[in-house]
């Protein structure tokens, strides 16, 4: 918690919010996988899971809020309301589904369902990305993935801003 401002400055603020969202979802996925499959025989797994999910969710929420604050200031409250209602609804549905899955199948099945939900979010983030062409180009050349991805994030920041502006027009 103490290092969050430093982390936000060095990671979240340097790139477009989508990169930070994907990074946060990846942290959550790693935490869920570690906690799910080691949690049946050691308490360290769920502890690592809790820490990774906390950092991942904070990263994702800070990035999404940063995206909201780059948008027209008159639409911020409406977009923030929509974002928070959607986040709360997703958490509520996830809790309900997770409770039923845990009651019927136990720890492994519940964690596997969580991993599935996170993977769905990652796929949606990657598919709906304004950087699709850059991600595809990066995947073709495995050696230059990091450089191409970072250049795509830097080059296409204006594309993200344009898409967010289009969302405001639809919401307004």
34 found inside a domain: yes
What pLDDT sits at residue 144?
44
DSSP code, position 141: -
pLDDT of residue 171: 46
**What distance in Å separates the CA atoms of residue 66 and residue 166, rounded to the nearest whole number?**
17
CB hemisphere CA count around 167 (13 angstroms): 18
Domain of 127, in residue numbers? 2-160
Provide the domain count of the chain: 1
79, 68 in Cβ contact below 8 A?
yes
Taking 3-state DSSP, the helix, strand and coil percentages for the chain, each rounded to the nearest 5, stand at 85, 0, 15
Task: Specify if 28 maps to a domain.
Answer: yes
The C-alpha atoms of residue 84 and residue 73 are separated, in whole angstroms, by: 17
Per-residue pLDDT of the chain (172 residues; tens, 9 = 90+): 566 667 767 777 777 778 888 889 999 999 999 999 998 899 999 999 999 999 898 888 888 888 888 777 888 888 888 888 888 998 898 888 989 999 999 999 999 999 999 999 888 887 766 554 554 454 444 444 444 444 444 444 444 444 444 444 544 4
């Amino acid at each position: 918690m103490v290092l969050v401002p430093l982390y936000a400055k060095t990671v979240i603020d340097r790139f477009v919010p989508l990169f930070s969202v994907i990074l946060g979802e990846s942290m959550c996925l790693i935490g869920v996988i570690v906690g799910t499959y080691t949690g049946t025989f050691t308490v360290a797994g769920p502890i690592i899971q809790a820490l990774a999910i906390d950092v991942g969710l904070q990263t994702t929420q800070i990035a999404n809020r940063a995206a909201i604050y780059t948008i027209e200031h008159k639409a911020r409250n409406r977009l923030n309301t929509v974002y928070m209602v959607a986040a709360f609804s997703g958490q509520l549905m996830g809790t309900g589904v997770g409770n039923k899955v845990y009651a019927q199948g136990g720890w492994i099945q519940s964690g596997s369902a969580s991993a599935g939900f996170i993977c769905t979010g990652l796929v949606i983030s990657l598919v709906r990305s304004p950087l699709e062409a850059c991600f595809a180009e990066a995947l073709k050349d495995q050696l230059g993935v990091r450089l191409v991805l970072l250049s795509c994030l830097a080059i296409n920041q204006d594309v993200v801003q344009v898409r967010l502006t289009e969302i405001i027009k639809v919401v307004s």
